[in-house]
């Protein structure tokens, strides 16, 4: 009886476990839509029917998305949407692409777009009005592209098949590594340490590599780390607290999203602390930005890995 009473007192003294709720904007590949989800205030969410892939907070309470001319009315280039309403407030079409896969706004107001051009993979820089400033032709060995990320050194990181590349603005490959177990490497960012953090695509894991290719850590593979039905790890976001949020894409069909969690959050050492799964609302996501703690009035970049505002 005394033990039971003591346990009851201890339970009352312990703080209640707080439920993790996030607010995020995402691109839904198999649902052909862009959506904003607010777990604390669901009525603030919205859905826009438009196929898109990459996302970036570009200031003015807007999110920019890359579009490839499919699954909506927008052609190759990028759109900007009002975060409060989902209204499309800007459309920019860029010539010279068969498909635009990725778009990155820079602090100087220019935008880099990457995708498939008639001659191969290309990166195009456009000015604030969308006029082409230069075209970077990637070497022929880079056959695929999903998300590219600029670095603080003024270079570009991107994945192709099992490899991650760093490309100079003249098209030269400055650095590359083969990722063991990776397939269709989706995105990579350069950390202040000089290491590279990336999503392995069909490898369904996240990994941090030293410059010589040594694996520093891997998230998403070990027991206790895995989401349900891990198939393809796509976009990810490094948070200020050291956690990582990643998109788990499960297939091209709308109903594939019923298989497992669409989003997952890991601590720096791989503990799974949050997942999101709503197959009624969304299909299989391939891009997402957690908005908690961010100021959408400011431009945010991943020049040093973590998504940070440009002051």
DSSP-assigned letters across all residues of 103-164: EEE-TTS-EEEEEEETTEEEEEEE-TTS-EEEEEEPPTT----S--EE-TTS-EEEEETTEE
CA atoms within 13 A on the CB side of 138: 26
Question: What are 252-275's pLDDT values in tens digits?
Answer: 999 999 999 999 999 999 999 999
State the pLDDT at residue 72.
76
Considering only CA atoms, which of 72, 156, 151, 155 is closest in space to residue 114?
156
pLDDT tier, 11 (very low <50, low <70, confident <90, very high otherwise): very low
Structural domain contains residue 182: yes
Structural domain contains residue 259: yes
Strand stretches in 21-118, DSSP E: 23-28, 33-38, 46-48, 55-59, 62-67, 77-82, 88-93, 99-105, 111-117
Distance CA 168, CA 20 (A): 40
User: 3-state class of 12 per DSSP?
Assistant: helix
User: 3-state class of 175 per DSSP?
Assistant: strand
Distance CA 108, CA 115 (A): 22
Considering only CA atoms, which of 88, 83, 112, 89 is closest in space to residue 100?
112
Q: What is the mean pLDDT of residues 5-27?
A: 66
Neighbours of 42 (CB within 10 A): 9
189-209 in b/e form (b: 16+ CB < 10 A) is bbbeeebbbbbbbbbbbbbbb
Structural domain contains residue 3: no
Structural domain contains residue 5: no
Structural domain contains residue 1: no
pLDDT tier, 74 (very low <50, low <70, confident <90, very high otherwise): confident
* pLDDT more than 90, % of the chain: 89
- pLDDT: which is higher, 10 or 104: 104
Number of domains in the chain: 1
Distance CA 242, CA 293 (A): 13
Please calculate the CA angle 141-144-145 and round it to the nearest 5 degrees: 120
Domain with 46, as residue range(s), is 20-309
State the pLDDT at residue 18.
62
Structural domain contains residue 13: no
Structural domain contains residue 7: no
Mean confidence (pLDDT) of the chain: 93
Structural domain contains residue 187: yes
Say which CATH number the domain at 241 has.
2.120.10.30
156-168 in b/e form (b: 16+ CB < 10 A) is bbbbbbbbbbbbe
Neighbours of 181 (CB within 10 A): 14
Indicate whether 6 pLDDT > 90.
no
State the pLDDT at residue 2.
53
* Beta carbons of 59 and 298 less than 8 angstroms apart: yes
């Amino acid at each position: 009886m005394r033990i039971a009473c003591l346990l009851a007192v201890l339970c009352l003294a312990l703080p209640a476990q707080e439920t993790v709720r996030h607010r995020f904007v995402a691109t839904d590949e198999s649902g052909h839509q862009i959506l904003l989800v607010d777990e604390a205030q669901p009525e603030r969410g919205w859905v826009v029917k438009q196929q898109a892939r990459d996302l970036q907070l570009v200031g003015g309470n807007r999110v920019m998305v890359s579009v490839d001319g499919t699954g909506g009315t927008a052609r190759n280039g990028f759109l900007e949407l009002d975060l409060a309403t989902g209204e499309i407030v800007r459309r920019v079409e860029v010539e010279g692409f068969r498909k635009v896969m990725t778009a990155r706004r820079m602090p100087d107001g220019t935008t880099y777009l990457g995708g498939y051009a008639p001659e191969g993979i290309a990166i195009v820089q456009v000015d604030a009005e969308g006029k082409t400033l230069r075209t970077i032709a990637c070497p022929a060995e880079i056959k695929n592209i999903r998300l590219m990320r600029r670095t603080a050194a003024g270079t570009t990181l991107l994945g192709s098949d099992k490899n991650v590349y760093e490309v100079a603005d003249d098209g030269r490959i400055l650095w590359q590594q083969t990722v063991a177990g990776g397939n269709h490497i989706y995105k990579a960012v350069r950390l202040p340490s000089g290491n590279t953090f990336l999503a392995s695509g069909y490898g369904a894991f996240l990994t941090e590599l030293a410059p010589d290719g040594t694996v520093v850590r891997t998230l998403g593979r070990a027991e206790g780390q895995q989401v349900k039905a891990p198939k393809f790890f796509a976009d990810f976001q490094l948070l200020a607290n050291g956690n990582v949020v990643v998109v788990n894409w499960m297939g091209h069909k709308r109903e594939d999203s019923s298989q497992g969690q669409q989003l997952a959050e890991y601590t720096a050492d791989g503990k799974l602390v949050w997942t999101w799964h709503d197959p009624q609302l969304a299909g299989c996501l391939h891009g997402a930005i957690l908005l908690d703690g961010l100021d959408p009035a400011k431009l945010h970049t991943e020049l040093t890995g973590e998504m940070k505002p440009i002051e």
